[in-house]
Structure 1
Amino acid sequence: MADEKVAPPVDDRMKPLTPNYLKLVFHHVVSNALFLCIPPLLALLFPHLSATSLASFASPQLSSHSTVAGSTLLGLVVALYMLRRPKAVYLVDFACFKGSSAYVAPRVTILAKFTGGGTFTEETVAFQRKMLERSGISDEAYIPASLLCNPPDMCYRTAQEEAETVIFSAVDELFRNTGVAARDVGVLVTNCSLHNPTPTYADMIVHRYKMSSDVITYNLSGMGCSAGLIAIDLVRQLLQVHRNSYALVVSTESMTLNAYLGNNRSMLVTNSLFRLGGAAILLSNRLRDRRRSKYQLIHTVRTHKGADDRSYSCVTQEEDAEGKVGVALSKDLMAVAGSALKANISTLGPIVLPLSEQLLFLTSLVLKKVLKLDHVKQYLPDFKLAFEHFCIHAGGRAVLEELEKSLGLSPWDMEPSRMTLYRFGNTSSSSLWYELAYCEAKARIKAGDRVWQIGFGSGFKCNSAVWRSLRAIKSAKNMRNSNPWLDEIDNFPVQVPKLVPLMP
């Protein structure tokens, strides 16, 4: 024991720098390069500035003329900037529909409703069961009362009842929480992809809430699950024209007339994924609303891949061989979604990513594409340096897993999307708002945080919206009832197994 050598203590300062640490240092240096350059520039300019000051002191008239000219030029530059600067768009608040226990539909109930009646093959029933077991959706999600009837009551009347239940519930809650009168809303945009009645959803809202006769209304249909962000982008553009206005966006989807009752596998998947839901969002361009608003809209980026045949035909509403209508999902859906996301990121990345990430990406691109160094991997930008929160459309388990891998996100980053899929299912365009509500309920939103919403839809489209939080959002326990997670947030997150067998 006396001869045993004791290793000297390790000095942490002597440890080799890890790649992550070096990358972090590089990021901070590049991001603050302007400030780091100021002291040397001042040192170089100081002799010249001193000589100019002495010359001005010796010639007061020259100094006076220079001051007037400089002030005038500065005033013109400021005025031009103020005139050309886009108006800020604020998100005052939003509300999501949450159904009562009457709308709760365990997966075994859905299996019985969508495969009952003796018109389905054994293979169809087995496939539908497998999809429900692997969907990642709990037995607490909602479907319309029309589909819970025995037999399901799928008609125009019940579809209207479904729409009115979801839309009016969310809008009532939003007006109650914000204190905004319906007649003060200057712009109204609604979106629902598969149900397009006459009068429209927008007309229904105007009639119900007795809105002003000069309200500007738009009703978007047939635009898939990404239509909610298209509506947000449309409002952003309209609020650049209409001064001191409130804008109401209502996003939902109809299930009553769109449950598929055939044997085509590509159409059966939607029965397993889609559930009842909707959201109402109030936006404003009034400066005085900034103090009470939650977020400011920073960017919207829309990508449309419809010129490509494979992208155009990967999500289509059509008839099967028996004449039954359903939404068919192509096997190319994941590849198409990945291509659309890549195109969207190529536009959004330079806008939001710090300069350090852009330099790293450009360097790897030059090495791989220009210098033909095949062993160099394409650099994947770290979007967690640009955003604190990610709200990715809860389209399905496979979609979320693929995007988690593609964007290099962590389970914590994906938690809002996964928990939304588990608790509420795929509610189409409104799912992004259930996800943001989850972040708020968990008290994750801090002042200055940036939120990235990503939506996918038929066509094929990938759309992004970037928000910046204007204040810290209180936890759900201190919030009003507009948050759908209010009374159960302590139960989440939960571990969702790959396979959850249906219990009889």
Structure 2
Amino acid sequence: MSSNTKTDTEETTSSSTSKESKKRLPDFSQSVKLKYVKLGYHYLMSHLVTLCLLPLMSVILIQASHMKAQDIQELWAHLQYNLLSVIAISAIFALGSTLYIMTRPTSIYLLDFSCYRPPNHLTVHFQKFIHHSTLTGDFLPSSLDFQRKILLRSGLGEETYLPEAMHSIPPRPSMAAAREEAEQVMFGALDNLFANTRVKPKDIGILVVNCSLFNPTPSLSAMIVNKYKLRGNVKSFNLGGMGCSAGVIAIDLAKDMLQVHRNTYAVVVSTENITQNWYFGNNKAMLIPNCLFRVGGAAILLSNKSSDKRRAKYKLLHVVRTHKGADDKAFRCVYQEQDDAGKTGVSLSKDLMAIAGGALKTNITTLGPLVLPISEQLLFFLTLVVKKLFNAKMKPYIPDFKLAFDHFCIHAGGRAVIDELEKNLQLLPLHVEASRMTLHRFGNTSSSSIWYELAYTEAKGRMKKGNRVWQIAFGSGFKCNSAVWEALRHVNPSPKSPWEDCIHKYPVEIIA
């Protein structure tokens, strides 16, 4: 009896399970169908012009094949009688072509870049970080606990670096120590860059250096001119106080300069200085940068010489900059100030992520039409029209940027920043891998983080000819800036890459 009951129960369960699976199956197949429908739509819209021109070209070829020799002779005679018209049209065409060639923007090529890899003795483990913070005597027990929690949740690993001055007990945040950190980072990256590219410092016509919090006199750019004995007419610029997105701003400035000064090289150096900007107080909003920011820097060599295209790694396609500084909340969300005890630090607002999201939305609204395929632009436009006309309570269409870019270099500002962009842009874990691994291995290196991420992609052997890269960074002000590059060849990592001896360990699992 019990056996029969059991069998009946199993049959009932099996029957209900099969019914449920049948119910689920249409949903799954429907999603698969929708996926292929969208891919078909994207292909159709991307090749619409070609598909429309094919029938027209066929008709022209058929008509041409049926033309008789007499028809061709009549056409030639007609052209001879209208010789002046032909000459005028040819002259206008030649003049227009010449003007176009002379006024079109000069192509900007990235020959190579180099990221600074600090020596191993500057590594800071979590336990060492908390131990040294305790020994300073400046932090309350609650502040130490707060920093410990931030470190564990930050996404940073145990092999990031702090400058020499912060390893001393007590720390020695002097001007001399800050200059020493700047020299080690900038000269380390530049030495490797010049060695890899074999470009002589004397050939550099433009120099742009960005460092937000350390601006000595003479400037950092002057330190580089002095070290490498750059020529006297070099166009040098020193950008300060512009935050973590200043690396893209520096690229934009170098690009504009290369449009004016032909047949030359530009070097961009992006870095940050920690030595004199460590916070020794107990304001929690100012303690977060202590836990996230680490030593790092990058040097980038750009050229406007057409002859350099053959050996260049990338071509610069677009730079889009967004500034939300007119809004008071955005202006103060990353703010350097003194706390109640008179100690200087950088305060991070609770509204930071919301403000970053707004800046991102504005930035991609400008960037989208430049990079997205027509299929995505049409979907976005139609959704906007329906929403406006019918006041529909529908979510705005988020374009699929995966159709425009092959690789994403999202500023490794912190785990929350990467999570937010992964969610909002509907990216896959692979697309944010470079950002997460850079944060884990090197921490937040400010404006240079996007270059460590690009170096990671190269080290993994993922950069193929024709691939497009989107570098996106956020910074105080508040700013969101984007740079788009196209790979001109299959790119291999350059010698002395920051990932050279550790890329085989990555990706690693980040514990939540």
Worse-matched range after superposition: 50-59 or 152-161: 50-59
Cα distance change on mapping 1:37 and 1:53 into 2, 3 Å: farther
Which residue identity lines up with residue 75 of structure 2 in the other structure?
Answer: S
Mapping for residues 142-161 of structure 1, pairs under 5 Å: 142-161=161-180
Which piece of structure 1 moves more, 236-245 or 108-117?
A: 108-117
Matched, 1:39 2:58: no
TM-score (normalised: structure 1): 0.92
Structure 2 match to 1:497:
511
Query: Aligned to 1:465, which of 483, 491, 504?
Result: 483
The residue number in structure 2 matching 1:387 is 405
**Separation of aligned partners in 2, 1:406 and 1:148:** 39
Deviation at 1:45, TM superposition (A): 6.0
Aligned-partner Cα distance in 2 for 1:278–1:491 = 22
- Structure 1: distance between partners of 2:62 and 2:509: 66
Count how many residue pairs are aligned between Structure 1 and Structure 2: 479
- Judged with a 3 Å threshold, the aligned counterparts in structure 2 of structure 1 residues 308 and 53 are, in CA distance, closer, same or farther, namely farther
In 2, are the aligned partners of 1:249 and 1:282 still within 8 Å (CA)? Answer: yes
Aligned to 2:39: 24
Tell me the equivalent position of 2:95: 76
* 1:69 CA drift (Å): 3.2
Other-structure match for 1:405: 423
Question: In structure 1, what is the equivalent of residue 279 of structure 2?
Answer: 260
Q: Is the 8 A contact 1:337 1:462 kept in 2?
A: yes
Q: Retained in 2: the 8 A contact 1:138–1:423?
A: yes
Matched, 1:487 2:501: yes
Give the letter aligned to residue 511 of structure 2: P
CA contact (8 A) 1:114 1:260 kept: no
Q: Which residue of 2 aligns with 1:418?
A: 436
Question: Aligned-pair distance for 1:126?
Answer: 1.0
Change (3 A) 1:26 1:168: same
Whether the aligned pair in 2 keeps the contact of 1:294 and 1:471 (CA below 8 Å) is yes
Cα distance change on mapping 1:212 and 1:58 into 2, 3 Å: closer
Pick the structure with greater CA Rg.
2
**Structure 1 unpaired stretches of 5+:** 1-14, 499-504
Q: Deviations over 1:392-432 (max 9, x none)?
A: 00000001000000111100000000000000000000000
Q: Deviations over 1:339-362 (max 9, x none)?
A: 000000010000100000000111
User: What is the identity percentage for the equivalent residue pairs of Structure 1 and Structure 2?
Assistant: 53
Superposed, 1:132-281 pairs within 5 Å as 132-281=151-300
TM-score, normalising length: structure 2? 0.91
Map of 2:144 onto structure 1? 125
Moved more, 144-153 or 120-129: 120-129
1:380 is paired with a residue whose SS is: coil
Cα offset for 1:58?
4.6
Structure 1 counterpart of 2:462: 444
Structure 1 pair 60–173 and aligned structure 2 pair: CA distance change class (3 A): closer
The C-alpha deviation readout for 1:365-417, integer Å capped at 9, x for no partner, is: 1112222121x332110001110000000000001000000111100000000
1:119: how far off?
3.1
In 2: Cα distance, 1:43 partner to 1:342 partner: 44
Q: Is the 8 A contact 1:114 1:259 kept in 2?
A: no
- Identify unmatched segments of 5+ residues in structure 2: 1-28
Q: Which amino acid aligns with 2:233?
A: D
| Letter aligned with residue 368 of structure 1 | K
Matching of residue 86 in structure 1 with residue 105 in structure 2: yes
Map of 1:336 onto structure 2: 355
1:201 maps to a residue whose letter is L
Aligned residue number for residue 5 of structure 1: none
Report which of the two has the higher share of helix: 2
The AA in structure 2 aligned to 1:183 is K
The amino acid that maps onto 2:414 is G
